[in-house]
């Protein structure tokens, strides 16, 4: 199930990025007292009273100026509005309504989305009445806040969460493997979906659901229920090419939330881009199983070492995902497409694998005996007991004498020993440390 999306918009220098950072809980957006400093939308997740949601920070909206950067910011913001469920329209509460605010309001009225006017810079309760002026812009909700001090943000978030659309529960049963195809635009995700569905032994269900523009295709393969989630439905509007490239990140995040296995589709012809690493990173952080699928391999000029070189490049660029298998395919010629679904089932099985406590403890003790942990100022890290507490991804809890004595390199060694013993191909592993009570 996808999380709701909240877009923060407004003209430049009204405090949008400061509000974004407060919701993110950290300084992600660049905050500088200079109009137009936020060039691109930035994404984060936030949480309010147990309700998680995405937040998009946008560049300031300016109208009537012929400037390439301003056009880019405007296009970015319009795409953010298109994806959002609730819009926070930030204004300068001390300055009052400006012609720029009126232009932004006209744009927002066309969206038919819930809009909350956030009258920012109301730093003292004596000035709270200044917010009332903004009802003239024609929206039902106005909240006075100080992004600098945090006052009023609780009221703003209460209202934001109350305007989220009703949750639609997914109807797939627990045994169904949900597979998302994620990656930059134009890497061949839709073509790959069509090629996979064209394979023998695949029975496509006539029922398809949509979440935004992600198309769900349920089918069975060798008796196994699978759903393919294709995120390729990006609409090009005018000259918004660069914006669409950024926009693909949010689409990927929403698809990842709903999936068990992510097919990270790379363009064999164009190679690896920074955007690929960002998208793959979300799948890793979310604890999803993953497979790299290098598409368009038919278009690559090759010698006997080309595949090996590309494989090494993936391992170098995605060092944090050394567990993910790599497939080379061509959706156009159907080359090796038949290997995708069998590999999906393998990694889904590893992602949901549960190991008995006694076996985990035996592996841990063997690993520690073979390579004892280093001592720190005369104290040595000790693992007294280990157990698996969750699957998807497999999550181990180690009860230890002192978590602060654990060096990340030793934890990586323990993870590698677990992988050597049980494979865990395609899935991240989580290792949590708990101090064992005496």
Task: Name the residue with tokens 């090629």.
Answer: 195
Enumerate the β-bridge partners of residue 265. Answer: 293
**pLDDT at residue 43 in the model:** 72
Looking at residue 216, its pLDDT comes to 79
Confidence (pLDDT) at 231: 72
pLDDT at 128: 82
Coil, helix or strand at residue 279:
helix
Between 305 and 26, residue with greater pLDDT: 305
Higher pLDDT, 263 or 72: 263
pLDDT mean across residues, the chain: 83
CATH architecture of 5-162: 3-Layer(aba) Sandwich (3.40)
> pLDDT of 159-209, one tens digit each?
999 999 887 666 778 889 999 999 887 888 888 988 998 854 444 444 333
Q: Which CATH number fits domain 357-435: 3.40.30.10, 3.40.640.10, 2.40.50.140, 3.30.300.20?
A: 3.30.300.20
C-alpha triplet 172, 176, 179: angle, nearest 5°: 100
Asked whether 118 and 90 are in contact (CB, 8 A), the reply is: yes
Q: Among the listed ranges 133-142, 225-234, 297-306, which one has the minimum average pLDDT value?
A: 225-234
Residue extent(s) of CATH 3.30.300.20 domains in the chain? 357-435
Instruction: Report d(CA 170, CA 310) in Å as an integer.
Output: 38
| Bridge partner residues of 289 (DSSP) | 261
The average pLDDT across 246-259 equals: 75
Residue 377 main-chain phi, psi, to 5 deg: 55, 45
pLDDT in the model for residue 31: 41
H-run or E-run covering 368: helix 357-370
Which regions of the chain carry the CATH code 3.40.50.300?
5-162, 177-350
Annotated binding-site positions for GTP: 10-17, 57-61, 120-123, 183-190, 230-234, 295-298
Choose between 5 and 75: higher pLDDT: 5
Encode pLDDT of 35-66 as tens digits: 433 334 467 778 898 888 888 877 655 555 55
Gap between the Cα atoms of 148 and 137, Å rounded = 24
Give the pLDDT score at 44.
77
Pure H helices in 130-227: 153-162, 189-197
pLDDT reading at 68 higher than 70: no
pLDDT at 248: 62
The confidence band for 140, taking pLDDT boundaries of 50, 70 and 90, is: very high
Residue 85 in contact with residue 8, Cβ under 8 Å? no
pLDDT, residue 92, reads: 92
Of 244-258, 315-329, 362-376, the one with minimum mean pLDDT is: 244-258
Fold for the domain defined by 177-350? Rossmann fold (3.40.50)
pLDDT band at 344 (very low <50, low <70, confident <90, very high): very high
Percentage of the chain lying above the pLDDT 70 cut:
82
pLDDT at residue 305 is higher than 50: yes
pLDDT at 18 over 90: no
More confident residue, 249 or 232: 249
Residues 287-301, mean pLDDT to the nearest whole number: 95
**Residues in the annotated binding site:** 10-17, 57-61, 120-123, 183-190, 230-234, 295-298
Residue 19's alpha-carbon distances to 143, 147, 235, 250, 306, in angstroms, are: 13, 5, 29, 19, 48
């Amino acid at each position: 199930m996808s999380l709701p999306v909240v877009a923060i918009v407004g003209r430049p220098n009204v405090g949008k990025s400061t509000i974004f950072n407060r919701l993110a809980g950290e300084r992600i957006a660049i905050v500088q007292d200079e109009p137009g400093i936020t060039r691109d939308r930035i994404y984060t997740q936030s949480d309010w009273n147990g309700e998680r949601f995405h937040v998009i920070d946008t560049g300031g909206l300016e109208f009537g100026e012929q400037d390439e950067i301003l056009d880019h910011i405007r296009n970015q913001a319009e795409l953010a509005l298109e994806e959002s469920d609730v819009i926070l329209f930030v204004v300068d509460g001390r300055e009052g309504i400006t012609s720029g605010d009126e232009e932004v309001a006209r744009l927002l009225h066309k969206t038919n989305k819930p809009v909350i006017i956030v009258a920012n810079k109301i730093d003292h309760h004596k000035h709270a009445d200044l917010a009332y002026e903004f009802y003239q812009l024609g929206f039902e909700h106005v909240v006075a806040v100080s992004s600098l001090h945090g006052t009023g943000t609780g009221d703003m978030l209460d209202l934001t969460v109350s305007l989220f659309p009703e949750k639609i529960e997914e109807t797939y049963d627990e045994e169904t493997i949900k597979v998302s195809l994620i990656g930059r635009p134009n890497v061949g995700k839709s073509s790959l979906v069509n090629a996979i569905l064209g394979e023998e032994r695949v029975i496509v269900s006539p029922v398809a659901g949509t979440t935004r523009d992600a198309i769900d295709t349920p089918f069975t393969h060798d008796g196994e229920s699978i759903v393919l989630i294709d995120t390729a439905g990006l609409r090009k509007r005018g000259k918004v090419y660069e914006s669409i490239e950024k926009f693909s990140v949010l689409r990927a995040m929403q698809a990842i939330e709903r999936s068990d296995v992510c097919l990270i589709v790379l363009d064999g012809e164009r190679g690896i881009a920074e955007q690929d690493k960002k998208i793959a990173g979300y799948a890793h952080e979310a604890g999803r199983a993953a497979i790299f699928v290098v598409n368009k391999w038919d278009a690559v000029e090759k010698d006997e070492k080309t595949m090996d070189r590309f494989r090494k490049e993936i391992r170098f660029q995605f060092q944090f995902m050394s567990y993910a298998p790599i497939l080379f395919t061509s959706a156009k010629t159907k080359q090796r497409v038949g290997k995708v679904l069998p590999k999906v089932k393998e990694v889904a099985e590893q992602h949901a694998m549960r190991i008995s406590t006694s076996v985990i403890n035996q592996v841990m003790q063997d690993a520690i005996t073979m390579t004892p942990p280093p001592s720190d100022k005369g104290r040595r890290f000790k693992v007294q007991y280990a157990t698996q507490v969750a699957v998807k991804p497999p999550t181990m809890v180690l009860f230890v004498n002192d978590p602060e004595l654990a060096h990340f390199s030793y934890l990586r060694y323990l993870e590698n020993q677990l992988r050597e013993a049980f494979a865990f191909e395609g899935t991240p592993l989580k290792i949590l440390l708990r101090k064992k009570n005496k």
